[in-house]
Structures are given as C-alpha cells and as structure tokens.
Amino acid sequence: MQLLKILTVLASTEAEQINYLIKLGTFPLTDEFALEFDDAYQFFLSNIDERKKDNSINKIFLDKLNEIDLIFIEMSNVNSNIFWNVSSLNLTEWSKIRKLAKEALSNISN
C-alpha cells in the first residue's frame, strides 16, 4: 500500500529521508514527501467508505493522517520555500510529521 510506504518514509530519520530523496533524484527538494503523501492519502480516503463499514480502520490512525495532511497544508500556505529544501528537515514542522507518521504506523490496526 502506497500510504504505508510514504508513512514509513515520513517516520524515518532526517538522514534516511535525505537518502530517499537522493535515490528518487529529487534531492535537495522535500516537496516530494508532501506530494507522495497527498496522492496516497487522497486515494486512501476515496476508498475508505467500504473499510469503515466493517470497522477495520482505527480512528487514531485516521486522526494522525489528518494531522499530517493539515501540517502539509499549513506548510504549503507559507509564502516562501522554507519547508521544501533538505535544510528544513530539522524544523519543528518536519519533526511533528515524523512523530505523527510513527504514531499512525503504530495505530494501523484496532
């Protein structure tokens, strides 16, 4: 599942994230993280109705995904590119995303 892949990347250390970007060929730009998350999250949301009916999705997991999405939205609304370069990976916003991604991964099942 693409969502689990990007959550794993988002939960990774700063060094691991940099290596991921180098392998993708997008280094030093970090906007790829937001783009990959958004694609996977939107696809997940579009398919959630059936899964929700059988209660197989943990509410905490959904909340963490939503929090990550909101941080990315806030970061995108800033009128500068401060968040979209590897030098930003040590900022509070990226630390919050790492923490939330770890929490989401630990709350996938009920």
How confident is the model over 48-69, as pLDDT tens digits?
866 564 566 788 999 999 999 9
How confident is the model over 13-42, as pLDDT tens digits?
999 999 999 999 999 999 999 999 999 999
What's the pTM value of the predicted model, to 2 decimals?
A: 0.91
52/50 Cα distance (integer angstroms): 6
Indicate whether 110 pLDDT > 60. no
| Predicted confidence band of residue 88 (pLDDT cuts 50, 70, 90) | very high
| Residue 18: strand, helix, or coil | helix
Residue 7 tokens, joined: 């959550």
49/54 Cα distance (integer angstroms): 9
CA-wise closest residue to 28 among 94, 89, 99, 80? 89
Instruction: Supply the angle between the helices 2-11 and 14-24 in degrees, to the nearest 10.
Output: 130
Neighbours of 22 (CB within 10 A): 12
Q: According to the model, what pLDDT value does residue 109 have?
A: 67
Cis omega (within 30 of 0) on the bond before 28? yes
